[in-house]
C-alpha cells in the first residue's frame, strides 16, 4: 500500500483517534489540565496525543477510561471467526461413490 492507497494507513488512524478523543473530551467539558490531574497522564502527553495521535497505550487507556470509553477497546484483538475450517473440511473429505 503506497501513499495513494484507498485503505487507511496507521498514521491516518492515529489522527482520527486523536480527533475523536479531543471532541469527546471537549463535549464533556474537560480541560487537558483536569484530565491530566485525574488520570495521572501528563498534560504534555495529552496535548501530543491530540495533535499527533502519539501516546503510550497505558496513557491512552487511562485517559479513555476517564471519558467513559474504555470498553471501546474490548474488541480490538478479539478472535475473528473464520470460515477456513469449514472450507478445509470440504476439501479434506473424500467423496463417496456408490
Residue ranges per structural domain of the chain: 1-72
Can you say whether the dihedral through the CA atoms of 64, 19, 16, 12 is positive or negative? negative
* CATH number of this structure's domain 1-72: 1.10.260.40
pTM of the full predicted structure? 0.73
Q: Mind listing the pLDDT tens digit for each residue in 46-83?
A: 999 999 999 999 999 999 999 999 999 998 888 877 66
Q: Mind listing the pLDDT tens digit for each residue in 6-19?
A: 888 999 999 999 99
Helices (H), the chain: 10-27, 32-39, 43-52, 57-66, 84-92
Please give the pLDDT value at position 69.
Answer: 96
Q: Is 5 exposed, middle or buried (0-12, 13-18, 19+ CB in 10 A)?
A: exposed
Amino acid at each position: 500500500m503506497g501513499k495513494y492507497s484507498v485503505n487507511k494507513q496507521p498514521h491516518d488512524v492515529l489522527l482520527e483517534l486523536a480527533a475523536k478523543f479531543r471532541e469527546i473530551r471537549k463535549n464533556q467539558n474537560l480541560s487537558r489540565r483536569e484530565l491530566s490531574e485525574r488520570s495521572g497522564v501528563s498534560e504534555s502527553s495529552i496535548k501530543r496525543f491530540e495533535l499527533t495521535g502519539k501516546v503510550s497505550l497505558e496513557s491512552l487507556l487511562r485517559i479513555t477510561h476517564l471519558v467513559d470509553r474504555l470498553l471501546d477497546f474490548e474488541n480490538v484483538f478479539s478472535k475473528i471467526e473464520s470460515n477456513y475450517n469449514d472450507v478445509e473440511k470440504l476439501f479434506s473429505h473424500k467423496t463417496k461413490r456408490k
